[in-house]
Amino acid sequence: MTDESSAYSYSRVGPKGQIVISKRLREKYSIQPGKQVEQIETRGGVLIKPAPLLEDWKRLSDKVGRKWPKKVSSVEAIRENREK
């Protein structure tokens, strides 16, 4: 029995260092032509994963901004948090 989440796929590295990500994985992780991916060096090799979208960062920024104390600098907020 193969667990689809840990299935292996193989590619060859082209002359310019390019690899082809299997169709199944591209569809599963919404990796489309032109979309950026992260290359993360690990002890076992290189992890390739979809890069966070600008919209994800904006959503996070909005969420943090709503909860951030008004008229308090980030340095002041960190100091106050450490004192608690």
Q: Specify the CATH number of the domain 4-50.
A: 2.10.260.10
Tokens of 71: 């008229």
The reported pLDDT for the residue numbered 1 is 41
Q: What is the pLDDT of residue 2?
A: 44
Rounded percentage of the chain residues whose pLDDT exceeds 70: 82
> Does the structure show a pLDDT above 90 at 41?
yes
Dihedral sign for Cα 28, 33, 38, 39, please.
positive
Q: Where are the domains of the chain?
A: 4-50, 54-83
Rounded Cα gap, residues 22 and 75, in angstroms: 45
Q: Is 58:64 a contact under the CB 8 Å cutoff?
A: no
